[in-house]
Each structure stands twice: as structure tokens, then as C-alpha cells.
Amino acid sequence: MPTGGLLLVIAGLFAAGTVVTWLAVTHLVHASGLAGTSGHLEVEACTWSRSGGHRYPHCHGVFRSDDGTVVDPGATIDSHLSVGSTVGLRRTASGGYERTGAGALFGWLAVSLLGLAVLVLGAAAAGVLAGARGSPRKLMLLLAGLLAAMLASALAGGVAGIAGAF
């Protein structure tokens, strides 16, 4: 690949890694309980919408904050939940809702690690382009560690999500 094309790939890796990491971390802080208003959604109904050949769930109900200061009778979350169930959520500053618990926490952690891995891959490619000798090897070891942690986190999130479904 010519140098100009490689520069474009490196720029794309940095851009994608930055966006994925930023989005995942914003969700991660809510899933972990570090941001937002803690409360519960009493699921009253769920509907499905279609877009691009896929079906997407939307569950509606009443959100009540744990401290009783926020009540939202029109709360909606884009997750498939059981009608009549009560689930823990965090209300974001924008008025949206995020799932909490181990499944959501490990899931968003896995996506955050994926974003970091893409950033490290971009740094390694930049190192190769610059002619660095030792740096790309260290970055590849870091990349392997990030990917291993990402897979472990995704597995933990999957197990927690399945266990929470019962």
C-alpha cells in the first residue's frame, strides 16, 4: 500500500478508536453507576419496530428514581424486557436510560477495550510507517493484552446477562 493510503488507514484507525472508546466510556460510566440518576423502570409494554430488515425492541413504563425526586411516566428503553418486570436503570443527563448491572458493565467495558485496541493498532501502524524498531513490538504485546481482556470482559458480560435473564 502506498504511504498516502497507509496514512489514510492510520487516520481511520485513530478516528474509529477514538469514537468507539468515547461512546463506550460514556455508556460505561452510567452502567457502573458513576453517572446519572439511579432508579427503576416498571415495564408496562414493549413494542417492536423494523428498520433495514431488523427488528428493534422498545419497552415503555414508569421510571422512578431511588430517592423519589424523579418520576417519568413515559420512560422508554431500547431493550427487550419482560412486561410487568422492574429493572434497574440510570437516567442520563439527556433524559435517556441505561441498563445497570454486571452484564451492562462488562459489555461496555469490552467495547471500551475494543476502542483502545483499535487506537493501539493505529499507533503500531504509525510506528511501522515511521520506521521504529522496538516500539511496534511493545505495542503489539499491549494490543494482545487489550484483546484478551476484551474477550474476557465480553464473556463475563454474556454470562452475567444470561444469568440475569433467569
CA distance 40 to 140: 43
Q: Is 52 exposed, middle or buried (0-12, 13-18, 19+ CB in 10 A)?
A: exposed
Cα R_g (the chain), whole angstroms: 20
The confidence score (pLDDT) of residue 2 equals 57
Q: Which of 160, 27, 13 is nearest to 92 (CA)?
A: 27
The confidence score (pLDDT) of residue 135 equals 66
Q: Is 22 inside a domain boundary?
A: yes
Q: Are residues 107 and 95 in the same domain?
A: no
Does residue 48 sit in helix, strand or coil? Answer: strand
CA distance 88 to 67: 13
Q: Are residues 150 and 70 in the same domain?
A: no
Q: Which three cell numbers stand for residue 40?
A: 427503576
CA distance 78 to 156: 22
- How many folded domains does the chain comprise? 2
For the chain, report the end-to-end CA distance as a whole number of angstroms: 51
Tell me which of 69, 99, 129 is where a domain ends.
99
Tell me which of 81, 99, 117 is where a domain ends.
99
Domain of 95 in residue numbering reads as 37-99
Q: Which of 94, 112, 114, 110 is nearest to 102 (CA)?
A: 110
**Digitized pLDDT (tens) for each residue of the chain, 166 residues in all:** 557 788 899 999 999 999 999 999 998 998 888 898 999 999 999 999 888 888 888 999 999 999 999 999 999 998 888 899 998 889 988 888 988 888 889 999 999 999 999 999 999 888 888 777 766 778 889 999 999 999 999 999 989 878 765 5
DSSP 8-state symbol, 79 = S
